[in-house]
Amino acid sequence: MHGSSSLRVLKILVVLFCSFTWLCYGADLLDATKFSQTLSKLATEGLGVADLQQEFDQLQFNEEPVNGTEIILSLTANITNKFKERFNVVRQLKQAVEDAYSRSQSYSRQWQCCRTQDFSYNLEYDSRFRQKVDVTKACLKTSGSARSNLRYLDDSFVKTMEQMLNDFPFIKWQYFGSEEGMLTVFPAFEDKATCPGYDPRYRPWYVETATPEPKDVVLVIDTSGSMSTTLMNVAKEAANTVLSTMNPRDRVRVTNYANAFNAAFRLLKKSYPGQGSTRNMVIIFLTDGTPSDDKTNIMQTIKDRNAELHNKVIIMTYGILVNKNILLDIANQDGTSYGVSMSPGVTPGKFTSVSDTDNLRNAMATYYDSFSKNTESNNPIISVPYIDAAGLGKLKTFVYFLGN
Ligand SMILES: *[C@@H]1O[C@H](CO)[C@@H](O)[C@H](O)[C@H]1NC(C)=O
Ligand SMILES: *[C@@H]1O[C@H](CO)[C@@H](O)[C@H](O)[C@H]1NC(C)=O
């Protein structure tokens, strides 16, 4: 046993040494005898392997039997407790948000996190957050595409969050992301990011909570028509936005074939588990003009292909700078204007006319609204670990989805 531990040290040395030698001289220059002499010299003189071994040999060991069942039971109990505590916190926060919303609107002294320097925040270094924070105040992060008439949470809500941090010192950031595109963060911190750069609606914890059911999404960007380079770039950006809203269990494929719907349905069909499946299936179709194919043919293709998938596919269409009826008909899967009867049981999607290219990102990023549950869930959702935008490394978030 003692011999094997010193062998392992040597093995690591050999690996390090070889890569160094090859990099510098090439393997053919290696003299095996010299190499082994150098290695043992390094082990004894450089690392003191022999001395270490002597120390190890003198150590006293006691054998203690370990009861695996007992460890597992204790671990289970500990993990259960840990989750229970965090669920408790998020439940109380949920209640506090609901209370704040039910009170008459009163504005509090919250400013943008990127401007805490300019206002009366008292920022002090706090090791729990690894940066300067003000543990008596909240600050805001508002998206550039947030709605006007934002609803602010009042001072009592901030007081509740302060109380939570005192009562449960293990928690980190507490935040509330609204559907309007604003995030209330507690404690306030000095945000180095540019002011309107953050949108809570694209964060993993938000999207995952709003659409916890897994979904299959095919994104179709029509390049057959007149799409200019600028529009193509906007489309690509929008595609990236959609990708950023995917939760880890979603499967995504991007296609730009002319015969787009055929290809899109084919992709969905490949991963279709059968009639009992509860996965949401979505085709997102983005175009800047009338599709170049024959319209009857398009509607018939959609009808036939969706029938193969028990009409479970929802189609969302986005027209950049156009407002064409065909896009509305495709979203509704209604081909009656082109002599293709409508299948019973299809779920209509939504057509969005994007007149302003700046608006495209926002419009597409919230495509999931049409099948998000829109009802309160009884249980909090724990997000898959993700990298904290405020620099706390990998985080898990406990989230509640509040319905309307
Ligand atoms: C291990 O722990 C479990 C649970 O406490 C107990 O039922 C079992 O008898 C223990 N086994 C041994 C070998 O001590
Ligand atoms: C569970 O928590 C208790 C109390 O904090 C601790 O003493 C114990 O070692 C933990 N059990 C395991 C398996 O880590």
Which of 64, 66, 70, 72 most suits a substitution to test ligand 1, by most atoms within 8 Å of the C-beta?
Answer: 70
Which residues contact residue 357 at a Cβ distance below 8 angstroms, ignoring those fewer than 6 apart?
A: 230, 231, 234, 320, 321
| Tens digit of each residue's pLDDT (9 = 90 or more) over 101-133 | 888 665 556 788 988 888 778 899 998 888 899
| Measured distance CA(58)–CA(6) in Å, rounded | 15
| Measured distance CA(274)–CA(80) in Å, rounded | 36
The helix or strand, by DSSP H or E, that contains position 205, with its residue range, turns out to be: helix 204-210
| Tens digit of each residue's pLDDT (9 = 90 or more) over 204-217 | 677 777 776 777 77
For the segment 351-355, the average pLDDT, to the nearest whole number, is 79
Report the nearest-CA residue for atom 1 of ligand 2. 78
| Measured distance CA(268)–CA(216) in Å, rounded | 7
For the segment 183-201, the average pLDDT, to the nearest whole number, is 85
Which comes out higher in pLDDT, residue 261 or 225? 261
Pocket lining: 74 vs ligand 2, CB cutoff 6 Å: yes
| Measured distance CA(23)–CA(42) in Å, rounded | 20
Q: Which two tokens stand for residue 260?
A: 């787009």
Instruction: Specify the ligand 2 atom closest to the Cα of 77.
Output: 1
| Measured distance CA(196)–CA(182) in Å, rounded | 10
Half-sphere exposure of 71 (CA within 13 A, CB side): 4
| Measured distance CA(224)–CA(286) in Å, rounded | 11
**Amino acid 336: pLDDT:** 92
Determine the distance from the C-alpha atom of residue 122 to the mean position of all C-alpha atoms in its chain, rounded to a whole number.
Answer: 32
| Measured distance CA(227)–CA(222) in Å, rounded | 8
3-state secondary structure of 162: helix
State the alpha helices, DSSP H only, in 25-154: 32-41, 49-58, 68-102
Pocket lining: 292 vs ligand 2, CB cutoff 6 Å: no
Pocket lining: 75 vs ligand 2, CB cutoff 6 Å: yes
Pocket lining: 78 vs ligand 2, CB cutoff 6 Å: yes
Proportion of the chain above pLDDT 90, given as a percent = 16
Q: How confident is the model at residue 236 (pLDDT cuts 50, 70, 90)?
A: confident
Q: Are 231 and 367 in contact (CB under 8 A)?
A: no
Pocket lining: 67 vs ligand 1, CB cutoff 6 Å: yes
187 pLDDT higher than 60: yes
Q: Are strands 386-387 and 394-395 parallel, antiparallel or unpaired?
A: antiparallel
| Tens digit of each residue's pLDDT (9 = 90 or more) over 152-184 | 888 888 999 999 999 998 888 898 988 888 899
Report the nearest-CA residue for atom 9 of ligand 2. 74
Pocket lining: 71 vs ligand 2, CB cutoff 6 Å: yes
The helix or strand, by DSSP H or E, that contains position 182, with its residue range, turns out to be: strand 182-186
| Tens digit of each residue's pLDDT (9 = 90 or more) over 281-331 | 888 888 766 666 778 888 899 999 999 999 999 998 888 766 578 889 999
For the segment 63-76, the average pLDDT, to the nearest whole number, is 90
